[in-house]
Structure 1
Amino acid sequence: MNKEKQIRVLLVRPGQYPEERMVDNTLPALQKLVGGDIETVSPWPDRVCIVCDDEGKLKGKPFNRTLGDYDVLAGDFFICGIRDDDFCSLTDTQISRYEKLYHDPQIFLPTSFGLYTDTCTPQEYAQFNGIAQPSRDISSIEER
């Protein structure tokens, strides 16, 4: 079977909702998408994998989402399909399934009992992490 030149993936960034993307199916393009050398994780029985930065935690990238109850993914990652030994596009069903699974951003708070996580909106994530939000330009709004 031929390798797809572009693949349909689900990109998940810290503090944001997942987004569907078409990306070049080349090592440099995939490394650029996650910001480093890629690592794959296949935690589910279907033919998909998570592709993330191999050194995301070591580089101090922000925690993104939990991986089950045993790990935390740091930095940007994407989910794609697997066919033979190559990455391939996700199906509509897979996009829907993993968008629901990772829809809500997560906040992470270290406690004496371990890492506390909770879901939030992108706005709540930004507020919790002290990230400035774009200001609304109100100069064009007429006084009433």
Structure 2
Amino acid sequence: MNVLLVPPLEPPRAAELDNTPEAMQRAVGGPIQAIYPFEEPVALICHEEGKLVGLPLNRCLRLDNGEIYDIVAGTFFLCAAPPDSEDFESLTPEQLERYRCRFARPEIYL
């Protein structure tokens, strides 16, 4: 599946992953967690224990007013998560570009 891979301190990039738990775990470096912070059916897949194991802080998640409500630790990726499905799918080219722009700037946290 075509995903947007977002490593800490690096620009996001399109990547192709097998749609298997093992491939997803390799991409994030451990057990995966899917969160759904967007209005459209797109999942953010990250390391389930990233903050607990001290992975570097990566990108923040913001409310509509710009306020930060969470920070993702470690590498994560975005993929499509169709409603009423337990499977993940490829992002469309439009989604890849939109989220690439959204997460384009690496962030440093003090």
Runs of at least 5 residues in structure 2 that lack an aligned partner in the other structure = 63-67
Question: Post-superposition shift, 1:11?
Answer: 0.2
Output the aligned Cα RMSD.
0.6
| Residue identity opposite 1:102 in structure 2 | F
Q: Give the corresponding residue for 2:65.
A: none
Larger Rg: 1
User: Which residue of structure 1 aligns with residue 77 of structure 2?
Assistant: 78
- In 2, the alpha carbon distance for the partners of 1:42 and 1:66 equals 14
Percent identity for Structure 1 against Structure 2: 44
Aligned partner of 2:10 in structure 1 is 16
TM-score, normalised relative to structure 2: 0.91
**1:28 corresponding residue in structure 2:** 22
Q: What amino acid does structure 1 have at the position aligned with 2:78? A: I
Partner AA of 2:34 in structure 1: T
Structure with more relative contact order (C-alpha pairs < 8 Å, separation 6 or more): 2
Rounded Cα–Cα distance in structure 1 between residues aligned with 2:69 and 2:81: 23
**Partners in 1 of 2:24 and 2:101 — Cα distance?**
23
Using structure 1 for the length normalisation, give the TM-score: 0.70
Q: CA deviation at 1:67?
A: 1.1
- Aligned length in residues: 103
Structure 1, unpaired ranges of 5+: 1-6, 110-144
Whichever structure has more strand as a proportion of its residues is: 1
Q: CA deviation at 1:71?
A: 0.4
